[in-house]
Structure 1
Amino acid sequence: MPAGQRAVGAVVAESHRTVPAAFVAVKVPLDVAIGHAQALTREYRRLVGVPELLIAAIGTLLGTHPLCFAHLVEPGVVHVPDSADVGVTIDVGKGLHVPVLRAVQATPVRDLAARLMAHRMTALRGAFRAGDLTGANILLALHTDDDITHAVPVILPGTSCAVSLAGRQTEVFLDPAGAPAQRTVVQLGLAYDHRVLNGRDAVAFLRDLGNLLLQPADG
């Protein structure tokens, strides 16, 4: 196997061996976020999609959900960082990479979009440096093909949470007047270390994350 795949396998094996993981997912309406991302793409003349909005939203939750960014130092003791450093999965056919977007909580969406695109181009060239791939304190795993309904991500060793974004789904629902209507939804998932968080904490984090997609910020 290629060296990159062996490295991925080692990380996944270590995660399964050492982290008592649990998982929960919520369904989030996505039409507002899609429209907002399209408007920002036109305004900034750079690609802004739902992943970029989600990364920005994750960063804003550092203050209200600090344990989702913490790592276990020893049994019963965690370290809470002062920066949201988000690892994002990228696979363009040359192996899986998880480059890190640092200080997301202090970075505008337009700059996050530029940095994420730069990472995609680096993945195409296979030119990541070690420093690009280390230091994440939370993971965003992208599984955005439209036929993917949900995905359970791996918690990186040294982190407590991994968010997953699945594919878009179209569903029929009843609007406030009781009439049938159509909307786009997505499953947001969270794998979490049960030594640090419980299901209530995970659901609260996902609900706040979903609400931020319903009311995405400019920037």
Structure 2
Amino acid sequence: MAQVLEFKLPDLGEGLTEAEIVRWLVEVGDVVDIDQPVVEVETAKAMVEVPCPYGGVVTARFGDEGTELPVGAPLLTVAVGSSAEASGKSDSGAGTAEAEPAAADSGSGNVLVGYGTGAPPVRRRRVRPDGLKATGAAPAARVVAVPASPVSPAASAAASGRGTGPVAVVSPLVRRLARQHDLDLRRLAGSGPDGLILRADVESAIRSAAEAPAAAPAVPDEAPVRAAGERIPLRGVRGAVADKLSRSRREIPDATCWVDADATELMAARAAMNSADGPKVSVLALLARICTAALARYPELNSTVDQEAREIVRLPQVHLGFAAQTERGLVVPVVRDAHARSTESIGAEIARLTEAARTGTLKPAELTGGTFTLNNYGVFGVDGSTPIINHPEAAMLGVGRIVPKPWVYEGQLAVRQVVQLSLTFDHRVCDGGTAGGFLRHVADCVEQPALLLRSL
């Protein structure tokens, strides 16, 4: 006998209430260990792998890739116990299938599954708990099962991402393809076994829709016509960024000032540093170190506004965020305690967080708690910008590309490496004099890196 336990989407912290299934890491029938990652999900903060607290055989998965589940919704069920693991391993060569509920054991409140032995494997079609049909080989068995927590029709529909009733689709790729082209799978007739909808069926429907003439609906002249086109849900990381930027625009009376600076000496200092042994120093790391020095002189910009209390809260630590563009959108990883780090330490942490952002492995805690943001939009080949402040922070320093330009240097016209710096700040926390002083100090350090020695 094996006990089947239900694993629900856990609380991922940081106030997150839902997550989207990006990739399943296990299949039904796989044997999993305790704390083994079983699914990769995307939250409003980051991509995370979710480990399962049970060890045993996976008997069911709830939700396709692309489905958004609330915290507490069922993720999968696992049959634990030596007999379950032995069954999962012995059946691995012939395929797997979920157990079907048969009878209740009112005393336990858990799912109990008992497998018989001695009969050859047979092919059977079943409806999985998430409403999907599946096929697999299973031994002729005696199955006794009771759901640990019955799933309501609404919860089952939410887990499958569809309406009530099963859809004859097994492949997540087929479902994703249908979603991308706004196809209702319930209207398709599958050409596979038992009416299973295959990729070829979806592609045929896409071609038919593209070849069919577009019929314009008859509407009164004054009636609004809904714009057609591709619709991309604002959720996950992109949705969180949209919400934060919208809130920033609503609540923060921002202003921007900018200045051109001669970065020739800074680039020469960086080249000298990188000619020595040791890790290479990036321009972003140098600018980050300059920021911490400027914030020590102008702490007003390392603050936030408590609107309910009508107070400005100056923060003792500098947790420096930096904007990073990824395939999943813009994220802002945070270098903790940047004020207490050297340029080399800041550079190493920026490199680590950047790599994690690119691979989608940033933890939610690494994307929150920033007090000031550095935005290097020069990597996109532009000179200037008026960025939106990363709420609830009070300021953001923008850095354009560093390019050769004509410049008056020591009374003579020369070609120098010039960069445009901009500071967008919350006008509630300071006036233009403070903002201008901060920006001027940053520019002075860019032009004369030796000024940083005063704060080291």
User: What TM-score results when the alignment is normalised by the length of structure 2?
Assistant: 0.46
Q: Does 1:63 align with 2:271?
A: no
CA contact (8 A) 2:248 2:392 kept: no
Structure 1, residues 70-111: CA drift from partner, whole Å, max 9, x if none?
Answer: 111236521111111111001143321101111111101111
Structure 1: gaps (5+ residues)? none
CA contact (8 A) 2:261 2:443 kept: yes
Distance in 1, matches of 2:275 and 2:366, equals 29
Q: Does 1:213 align with 2:411?
A: no
Distance in 2, matches of 1:97 and 1:63, equals 26
Distance in 1, matches of 2:324 and 2:431, equals 28
Shift of 1:113: 0.8
Shift of 1:26: 0.8
Shift of 1:174: 3.1
Letter in 2 for 1:128: L
Q: Does 1:20 align with 2:286?
A: no
Structure 2: gaps (5+ residues)? 1-232
Shift of 1:125: 0.8
Going by fraction, where is helix more abundant, 1 or 2?
A: 1
CA contact (8 A) 1:44 1:110 kept: no
Letter in 1 for 2:297: T
Quote the sequence identity (%). Answer: 23
Shift of 1:40: 2.2
Distance in 2, matches of 1:94 and 1:197, equals 35
> For 1:88, which of 303, 322, 326 is the aligned residue?
322
Distance in 2, matches of 1:137 and 1:131, equals 14
Distance in 2, matches of 1:39 and 1:154, equals 35
Distance in 2, matches of 1:60 and 1:137, equals 14
User: What TM-score results when the alignment is normalised by the length of structure 1?
Assistant: 0.92
Task: Provide closer, same or farther for how the CA distance between residues 44 and 60 of structure 1 changes in structure 2, counting only shifts above 3 A.
Answer: farther
Letter in 1 for 2:323: T
Distance in 2, matches of 1:98 and 1:35, equals 29
Match of 2:342 in 1: 108
Shift of 1:38: 2.2
> For 2:359, which of 118, 125, 128 is the aligned residue?
125
How many residue pairs end up in the alignment? 218
Distance in 2, matches of 1:208 and 1:116, equals 23
Distance in 2, matches of 1:157 and 1:80, equals 15
Distance in 2, matches of 1:78 and 1:99, equals 24
Shift of 1:180: 2.5
Rg larger for: 2
Task: Provide closer, same or farther for how the CA distance between residues 139 and 175 of structure 1 changes in structure 2, counting only shifts above 3 A.
Answer: closer
Distance in 2, matches of 1:41 and 1:102, equals 24
Match of 1:11 in 2: 244
Q: RMSD over aligned Cα, in angstroms?
A: 1.8
Distance in 2, matches of 1:211 and 1:60, equals 12
1:148-187 pair list within 5 angstroms: 148-176=382-410, 178-187=411-420
**Structure 1 residue ranges, 4+ long, deviating more than 6 angstroms after superposition:** none
Q: Secondary structure at the match of 2:362?
A: coil
Letter in 2 for 1:181: A
Letter in 2 for 1:190: L
